[in-house]
Structure 1
Amino acid sequence: MTTKSSPTPWVDGPFSLIETPSVKIKSDHFYLKAASEMTHAHNVLIRSLNAILRQGPHIPTSTDPKYCAKDVTDFLNYVRCWVQMVHHHHWVEEEFIFPEMDKFSGKPGLMDEPRHQHELFQAGLTNLESYSINTKPEKFEWKGAQGMEHIIDSFSEDLTGHLYGEIEVLLTLSDLDSEEFKKTWLKAETIAKQSGNLKLLACGEDFPPFPWFMPYLAHYAFAVRNGSWRFNPCDFWGKPRPLAFVNNNASED
């Protein structure tokens, strides 16, 4: 697998994170806020993918003396949640953000390139979702032609390339009307919250913004009974924590 290199041992690799545009660019135009918020959303997806890639090789399989069916089940569920989060993110883009931007800009096809890029990795995501749902714990494999790593390798370059590239597209839109851009974005956030879920809250960069109480509600309602959360690289309040599986050593929930 060819990936972006990272010198850190946590989840800033193997795929590199995107630098927030507002760190270097100063502007009151809403295009910059949109690009920066989308960067946060994409970095959530990238960090969670990195968490899967870093921990997957260390999940003991059925031939390993340290094998535990619950560990595998929880990991498969974490992967499923990540896939569904990616699906939801792109559904909001395709169903609302991209069409609305076409309308208010007066430029039909403005977002065709990022929309078409979704097609490049859709099949791979669907395969990974199917694997995570249908694989029995004792049949789980990371390596090999039938393993999870092979499925992820089939689409991860296209996915991350899209996540990087879409930010670059947004940064070219400073000529659009700032207020109309803002209205479209706020509507998209509302739609995302109404149709979304609380699958993963990764590293303090949740998109769209949740009400202040939501991380606490999610923590006490779900985390204590869901072992899959231990694979997340951050706790529910966005604080980084050690990965649960490295070098075949599991941490406590």
Structure 2
Amino acid sequence: MPAPYPLLDMPPGDFKNMFDYPAINMAAAHNAFIQGINSMVSHAPKVEGNKVQPFIIFSLAVVDSVHHHHDLEETFYFPELEKKLGKGALAASVEQHHGFVPQLIELKGYLEAVKEGKEKYDGPLLVEKINSFSDIMIHHLSDEIPNLESGKLRAVFTEKELKDLDSGFMKLALAKIDFNTTLPLSVVCGNPATPWFPPFPTPLKWATRYWFSRKYRAAWEFGPLDLYGTPRVASG
């Protein structure tokens, strides 16, 4: 069983420096995905009874977040970066997406079928489906970070251009998510070593903890952190 995967090392630099920020923020986002995958593999064999549906909600949120992230990269973020970095600069990353996204979509189909009662929950099968792509995906998540190295960006972008690019990315990201799943997931799959991630304004952090988490509260118990960002005590 490949999981648990280690979290990625954070790139050097200052999170508040706009040239350092893209790589640091990307690594933090990728670590949240790794946390989610690790949690799915850890809990899948043990889930039963009335815990199945909350676990399916959690798992769908993980899969949707990964897929949403890579879709935005391909349709917006990478094309914008390539306007300055050069056409094809991110082509290798897009090619790597093709190595695991089909299996990710297949996994989503299985999870949705279980949610709708069309398939019986099978923990070992779920782990098998994750293992069919997780090694390739984790390798990709690591490979992608050097593309955003501070020196590369500083050579061709201004600070304002990077701020505008990040603002555009976040605007699109927030427009296409379910706040009741993506926001709580990003907190419970966070990393205590990077407490500033996700980079939500304080009012949104409070809304996530006390409002957006309520609809599927039982699902967030499967995250490695609680809704305050505190690591859960492992049981058994």
- Using structure 2 for the length normalisation, give the TM-score: 0.83
What amino acid is aligned across from residue 126 of structure 2 in structure 1?
M
What are the equivalent positions in structure 2 for 1:178-197 lying under 5 Å apart? Answer: 178-179=158-159, 180-197=161-178
Alignment correspondent of 2:223: 232
Alignment correspondent of 2:146: 168
Alignment correspondent of 1:96: 76
Alignment correspondent of 1:151: 129
| Aligned equivalent of 2:9, options 9, 19, 32 | 19
Deviation, 1:115, is 1.3
2:82/2:88 contact within 8 Å kept: yes
Larger helix fraction of residues: 2
Distance 1:131 1:236 in 2: 27
Q: Partner of 1:131: helix, strand, or coil? A: helix
Q: Partner of 2:123: helix, strand, or coil? A: coil
Q: State the identity as a percent.
A: 28
Does the alignment pair 1:216 with 2:231?
Answer: no
| Aligned equivalent of 1:48, options 36, 43, 50 | 36
Any stretches of 5+ residues in structure 1 without a counterpart?
4-13, 61-67, 248-253
What amino acid is aligned across from residue 191 of structure 1 in structure 2?
L
1:79/1:132 contact within 8 Å kept: yes
Deviation string, structure 1 residues 103-132 (Cα, Å, up to 9, x no partner) = 133x11111111111111111111111111
2:15/2:24 contact within 8 Å kept: no
1:124/1:151 contact within 8 Å kept: yes
Give the number of the structure whose alpha-carbon radius of gyration is greater.
1
- Using structure 1 for the length normalisation, give the TM-score: 0.78
Q: Partner of 2:112: helix, strand, or coil? A: helix
Distance 2:208 2:14 in 1: 35
Distance 1:103 1:26 in 2: 25
Any stretches of 5+ residues in structure 2 without a counterpart?
none
Q: Partner of 1:165: helix, strand, or coil? A: helix
What are the equivalent positions in structure 2 for 1:5-154 lying under 5 Å apart? Answer: 14-22=4-12, 25=13, 30-60=18-48, 68=49, 70-105=50-85, 107-135=86-114, 136=117, 139-143=120-124, 147-154=125-132
Deviation, 1:27, is 10
